[in-house]
């Protein structure tokens, strides 16, 4: 199918469309479960470590909510079963939500690093002003403060997040 603008938009077959719908529901459920797993940590941080709490509550959990909303908006604006061309406004909205999705994925990773920084009291060993650009789960300087299993997990995702390593704070602020 061809739109007036000359851009094509193809509908998926029914099986592929249903698979995307099912995966969307699975991801939404997993994100809800993740929130429920993170909440008790936020409560602990609130009492013991306000900086870690801020990055957990106002950073990580907020970003998970925004990621969930982005995924919902993807499905609402361009459902997999749709065979109609999207309007210019809808394409712009999709672009906006895709950008928000990527920023919040990156920012959530940053929030995790900052939670670790404050919870492990790395600020007692490193001057925060000098070290703040090294607070990066994928960075070499920060890896000396991570446990081996976390380093191994980060290595699995390093290629995917490689662009983030070049400028971990250039995409979006990681806190509130």
pLDDT at residue 158 tops 80: no
**Tens of pLDDT along 51-84?**
999 999 999 999 999 999 999 999 999 888 887 8
pLDDT at 166: 42
Q: Does residue 136 lie within any of the structural domains?
A: yes
Q: Does residue 52 lie within any of the structural domains?
A: yes
Q: What is the pLDDT of residue 83?
A: 74
| Domain count within the chain | 1
- The secondary structure of the chain as a DSSP string is -B-TTS-B--PPPHHHHHHHHHHHHHHHHHHHHHHHHHHHHHHHHHHH-HHHHHIIIIIIIHHHHHHHHHHHHHHHHS-TT--SPPPHHHHHHHHHHHHHHHHHHHHHHHHHHHHHHHHTTGGGTS-HHHHGGG--TT-HHHHTTS-HHHHHHHHHHTTTTHHHHH-TTTS--S--
- Which backbone phi and psi does 127 adopt, to 5 degrees? -70, 120
23 lies in some domain: yes
Residue 144 within a domain: yes
- pTM equals 0.81
Range of the domain at 44: 14-166
Q: What is the pLDDT of residue 126?
A: 96
Residue 175 lies inside a defined structural domain of this protein:
no
Q: Is residue 4 part of a domain?
A: no
Task: Determine which of 6-15, 17-26, 101-110 has the lowest per-residue pLDDT on average.
Answer: 6-15
Residue 6 lies in a domain: no
Is residue 3 in some structural domain? Answer: no
pLDDT at 172: 45
Average pLDDT over residues 28-45: 95
What does the pLDDT look like over 115-146, one tens digit per residue? 999 999 999 999 999 999 999 999 889 999 99
pLDDT band at 163 (very low <50, low <70, confident <90, very high): low
Amino acid 10: pLDDT: 57
């Amino acid at each position: 199918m061809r739109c007036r603008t000359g851009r094509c938009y193809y509908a998926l077959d029914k099986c592929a469309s249903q698979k995307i719908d099912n995966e969307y529901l699975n991801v939404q459920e997993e994100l809800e479960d993740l929130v429920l797993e993170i909440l008790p940590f936020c409560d602990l941080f609130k009492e013991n470590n306000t900086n870690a709490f801020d990055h957990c509550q106002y950073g990580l959990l907020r970003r998970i909510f925004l990621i969930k909303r982005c995924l919902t908006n993807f499905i609402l604006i361009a459902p997999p079963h749709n065979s109609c061309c999207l309007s210019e406004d809808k394409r712009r909205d999709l672009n906006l939500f895709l950008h928000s999705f990527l920023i919040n994925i990156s920012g959530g990773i940053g929030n995790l690093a900052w939670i670790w920084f404050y919870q492990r009291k790395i600020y007692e060993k490193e001057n925060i002003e000098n070290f703040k650009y090294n607070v990066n789960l994928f960075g070499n300087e920060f890896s000396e403060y991570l446990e081996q299993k976390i380093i191994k997990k980060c290595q699995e995702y390093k290629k995917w997040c490689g662009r983030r390593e070049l400028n971990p704070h250039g995409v979006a602020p990681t806190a509130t």
